[in-house]
Chains A and B, each alone.
Chain A
């Protein structure tokens, strides 16, 4: 696996430098666990937020890692992860979707030198539906990666509380 040697406190452009690390972390999870190579959208894409998975980070880095996409996209991800037809996917969608977010968060923090020991992850939480507002105590610029899974858009975001 690729790794980056970036310490959490070494410069002011940290968030910009974390973006490629986050993208690598996301791509690795999809390649290894879903057998899928992700592509980048050619322009701005609208991403429905019907499914949102969140994993909290606490310790040296505090914040929230989130994964968001449409319900059909999350079902497709779960079906690829489990190796079953999307039409046969049931309640395990939330479990699979949360685990993908969990692995992205874990893979990301393992790539940031010094974060492994100093940052803990919460269990994943999955929200279904779009009619909600998230109020987190973030106070630093976030990092966001938009990618295509089988041409279906999704977004991974890291919101940071310094």
Chain B
């Protein structure tokens, strides 16, 4: 698998680092990791950059992850890019809302690298 460009969206820089580390531990080769601390920043990053994977928190200031997913449909660089939510919000309604909005996966914090691998690899066309 060639390296992919991933966008990690979380208001915690520590969580962004942990998500990146989990991707690497999952054996996913990363050509670049772009970061944003909320949905609005993520949209700004995507206006200038193409990525192959987006991982986003839900609870964030300015624009939360659910609103980000809803707005990604209008972003050319995000067309067809899988989005996985990684969040402490574990309620069924949040999962349904995220998946309905267009997210392709949902990981609850706390999580293991194996959970990240199992969600991400199929979306990249790699058997988990």
Is B126 part of the contact surface with A, judged by Cβ < 8 Å?
no
Contacting residues of chain A (108-141) with chain B, CB-CB under 8 angstroms = 109-110, 116-117, 121, 123
Contact check, A32 vs B12: say whether CB atoms are below 8 A apart.
no
Q: Which residues of A contact B15 (CB under 8 A)?
A: 99
Tally the A-B contacts, defined by beta carbons under 8 Å.
64
A78 to B13, CA, bound (A): 12
Number of interface residues of A (CB under 8 A): 24
Contact check, A92 vs B14: say whether CB atoms are below 8 A apart.
yes
Closest-by-CB residue of B relative to A118 is B91
Is A153 part of the contact surface with B, judged by Cβ < 8 Å?
no
Q: Which residues of B contact A95 (CB under 8 A)?
A: 12-14
Is B70 part of the contact surface with A, judged by Cβ < 8 Å?
no
Contact check, A121 vs B88: say whether CB atoms are below 8 A apart.
yes
Q: Contact partner of B111 among A32, A110, A116, CB < 8 A? A: A32
**Given contact pairs A32-B110, A92-B13, A121-B59, A82 touches B92 in the complex (Cβ within 8 A):** no
Contact check, B110 vs A110: say whether CB atoms are below 8 A apart.
no
Q: Contact partner of A81 among B18, B87, B89, CB < 8 A? A: B18
Is A107 part of the contact surface with B, judged by Cβ < 8 Å?
yes
A contact set with B: CB distance below 8 Å: 28-29, 32-33, 78, 81-83, 92, 95-96, 98-99, 102-103, 105-107, 109-110, 116-117, 121, 123
B contact set with A: CB distance below 8 Å: 11-15, 17-18, 21, 59, 61, 87-94, 108-112
Other contacts beyond A96-B14, A103-B109, A106-B87: 12, CB < 8 A: A33-B18, A78-B14, A95-B12, A95-B14, A99-B12, A106-B89, A106-B109, A107-B108, A117-B92, A117-B93, A117-B94, A121-B88
Give me 20 A-to-B residue pairs in the complex whose CB atoms sit less than 8 angstroms apart, sorted by A's number. Answer: A32-B111, A33-B18, A33-B111, A82-B18, A92-B13, A95-B13, A95-B14, A98-B12, A102-B109, A106-B87, A106-B88, A106-B90, A107-B90, A109-B90, A110-B90, A110-B91, A116-B91, A116-B94, A121-B88, A123-B11
- What are the 5 A-B residue pairs with the smallest beta carbon separation, nearest first? A106-B88, A116-B91, A110-B90, A32-B110, A95-B14
